[in-house]
Structure 1
Amino acid sequence: MADKTLKDVSEIMKDRDICMLTTTTSNGMLASRPMSNNRQVEYDGDSYFFTWEGSRMVADIEMDNGVNLGFQQGYGLFISITGTAEVTRSREKMEEHWVEDLDKWFEEGLDTPGLAMITVAAKQIKYWQGEDEGEIRL
């Protein structure tokens, strides 16, 4: 078992933009969808995702805020982050994490009606990289 730190995992995640965000649905099933973390390279245990306020994902999180994020690169790196999610509609909080690339999905930028941001606070990070594997609890 390896002893990576949060800083080590942050460096590994630096170029990983897309992950699978998994929620629990109202009927108890798991639902996963690809999400962009906007290349938040200074990973401190929190991940930020923009979405539509009326999405099934938002409804799932407001019912049960336990989520999982799955990152993968090729066959050599896997990261699983278990945490809690919070939905915000606060423009002030969203401004801190907005990047221009998001305009292709949210054409009016931060003024897009129905815009929401999901913050995932990690509680546990598990990683596998070749023979190296480990866990970080936050």
Structure 2
Amino acid sequence: MHTLYGDEARAKIWTLIKDIKVAMMATWDEDSHESHARPMMALETDDFDGTLWFFTGKHSRKADEIRDDHDALLTYADPKAMNYVSVTGRAALVDDRAKIDELWTDYAKIWFPEGKDDPNLTLLRFDANTAEFWEAPNAVVRSVSYLKALVTGDKPDIGTVGRANMQH
């Protein structure tokens, strides 16, 4: 497993996750020590500086768990490309009306029917620390590798496993 650092790490992770619209976000219940995961859609940005933004409800279980324990995990899956990423980081709730205006999309009205002024609306800021990724070769290369493995008995090349440290 190779490790990437800083800008190179952020660029690699962004390449793998930018087109995946929904991630699973796990947070932890301070009392039961159980994790709870739910699908979350990251808000559109042009680049990745280590921070991802989400809209969330101020009064949700997720918000309560983040207030108690800022550790969070995002997992991304792109089964078609066979790329998978898990990102650990710190989550925080942020009440920033200007940032909400900047990131607002009409799609968010599904959850926040009163729009940008919905009293339950807040931002969830996720600051990535580290990530692990599995990146498979394209479909043609995978197919050739599988065929070669059938003929030779060798294991196929199923991809690259890597680690990204985004804090350095």
TM-score, structure 1 normalization:
0.91
CA contact (8 A) 2:25 2:39 kept: yes
Higher helix content, 1 or 2? 2
Query: Equivalent residue for 1:122?
Result: 128
2:47 is matched by which residue type in structure 1? E
Deviates more, 1:21-30 or 1:40-49: 40-49
CA contact (8 A) 2:44 2:103 kept: no
Query: Equivalent residue for 2:113?
Result: 107
Query: Equivalent residue for 1:78?
Result: 84
1:97-138 deviation digits (Å, cap 9, x = unpaired): 222221222122211121111000001011111211111112
Superposition map of 1:1-138 within 5 A:
1-2=1-2, 5=8, 6-26=10-30, 27-74=32-79, 76-130=82-136, 131-137=159-165, 138=167
Supply the RMSD in Å over aligned alpha carbons: 1.6
Which whole-Å CA distance do the structure 2 matches of 1:95 and 1:136 have between them? 31
Which whole-Å CA distance do the structure 2 matches of 1:125 and 1:94 have between them? 27
1:132 is matched by which residue type in structure 2? T
Which whole-Å CA distance do the structure 2 matches of 1:34 and 1:70 have between them? 9
SS in 1 for 2:103: coil
Which whole-Å CA distance do the structure 1 matches of 2:3 and 2:27 have between them? 28
> 1:15 Cα shift?
0.8
Which whole-Å CA distance do the structure 1 matches of 2:114 and 2:133 have between them? 37
> Are residues 39 and 9 of structure 1, via their aligned partners in 2, closer, same or farther at CA, if it must alter by over 3 Å?
same
SS in 2 for 1:10: helix
SS in 1 for 2:98: helix
TM-score, structure 2 normalization:
0.76
CA contact (8 A) 2:56 2:123 kept: yes
> 1:9 Cα shift?
2.1
Structure 2 spans left out of the alignment, 5+ residues? 137-158
CA contact (8 A) 1:13 1:41 kept: no
Which whole-Å CA distance do the structure 2 matches of 1:56 and 1:69 have between them? 17
**Number of residue pairs the alignment of both structures matches:** 138
**Percent identity between the two aligned chains:** 26
